Amino acid sequence: MKGMLSGITILELGQVIAGTYGGMILADLGAEVIKIEPHWGDAARNPKITPVRGESAVHLQLNRGKRSMVIDLKCEAGREIFYGLVAESDVVIDNFRPGVMARLKIDHESLLRHNPRIITVSVTGFGDGGPAGNQPAFDLVVQALSGLLDLTGPADGPPARVGIPLADISGGIFACMAVLGALVGRELHGEGRHADISMLDSLVSMLSYDALHHLNTGVLNRRQGTEHAHIVPWQAFETKDGYMVVAARGEKFWQNLCDAIDRPDLKDDPRTRDNGARLEHREYVVTILAEAFARRTRNEWMDLASKHDLPVAPVNDLVDVFRYPQVRAREMVRRYRHPTVGDVSYLPSPFKLTDWELPGLPAPMLGEHTVEVLRNRLAYSDETIGRLVDSGVVGTGQDRNGAS
């Protein structure tokens, strides 16, 4: 069985999350992703960040299925090796600050001289250009600037960060999409392209219909906790043993909910008979439902959901998530064997492809594949490789006191 991208080679200069998440997906699709690292390794390798038996969870998750090669790109000899790899590769992904690739002489225009079909993708906080282009960008900063923090959290409380690094992850996802689009475009039109991906652009684009509504009406949505600006009921309620959410979009589900709480009168009550009325009388509706949800446990509510076709769900913590039968049935937890950590449980990409089993390969040790790539891809002799290692142009992860 071959992956959709078998035969595609990607050189990844990415660090931590934004520059590596897209490569992780592309590796799952069958691409060969060669991670080019400095002697000290990707910052994601820092074992003090989400430690797992001496390694970092960020590295173990986001760099799985890739190969690691250490090259000093600041020296001419290192760049010559990189140019040789570019000549027979398809894509280069980076998440350096704007201008760094040009200073290293490995920007898109420079690489075209070595491969006119090369595709390059740069993921940055704010994109190449604009007044914020060179400002430092971390996930929290981008979430704040995008408006996401202002829309997240309780109505009467402070703004809240989305619980995952969504700015970083969205940058990686859109980088992956850019690669896939550019690969198709190259086959159609014969040209490599450069994609400029901004984490801020990515999150702003995800504001979606709420942004369109604001831009065309002037209405300013504010944070409402789990409530919805336009649908009632659509929020979390406390039960006897935790929280549940209900998302009764459409009158069918509202009427089912009325039956489940033994309040068929609410189907015809002028304050609750349709969504417009419920929006106008939100407090009245929420009070009734809060009392109803508080009378039962989460399991009792799930039994009612099965009986009445209710769009309700428990608010799962991570223990609950990985016990949830649907997550288990969809094989959203898999394992690979790491040379130092041992068995690692990880999350695969969510797609299921006909006749393709996700690779399930471990995250590489630093420089694990340097010699192999030089020998097999570029036909370097062992003597030449030895000189390159001794001079520090390349590394194997064992020749310096870098991360491992």
- Mean per-residue pLDDT for 217-246? 94
Query: Residue 218: is it exposed, middle or buried by C-beta count within 10 angstroms (0-12/13-18/19+)?
Result: exposed
pLDDT at 397 > cutoff 90? no
% residues pLDDT > 90 (the chain): 91
Catalytic residues: 168
- pTM summary value: 0.93
pLDDT at 188 > cutoff 90? yes
- Mean per-residue pLDDT for 202-221? 95
Mean residue pLDDT of the chain comes to 94
pLDDT digits (tens, 9 = 90+) for 378-391: 999 999 999 999 99
pLDDT digits (tens, 9 = 90+) for 78-99: 999 999 999 999 999 999 999 9
Residue whose entry in the numeric block shows the structure tokens 């009427």: 255
pLDDT at 308 > cutoff 50? yes
pLDDT digits (tens, 9 = 90+) for 327-369: 999 999 999 999 999 999 999 999 999 988 889 999 999 999 9
- Mean per-residue pLDDT for 226-251? 95
Give the per-residue pLDDT at 76: 97
Give the per-residue pLDDT at 399: 52
Model confidence at 51, pLDDT cuts 50, 70, 90, reads: very high
Give the per-residue pLDDT at 404: 38
CB contact set of 304 (below 8 Å; sequence gap of 6+): 260, 296, 310, 312
Q: How many other CB atoms are found less than 10 A from the CB of residue 2?
A: 9
Give the per-residue pLDDT at 135: 87
% residues pLDDT > 70 (the chain): 98
pLDDT at 60 > cutoff 60? yes
pLDDT digits (tens, 9 = 90+) for 125-172: 999 989 987 888 899 999 999 999 999 999 999 999 999 999 999 999
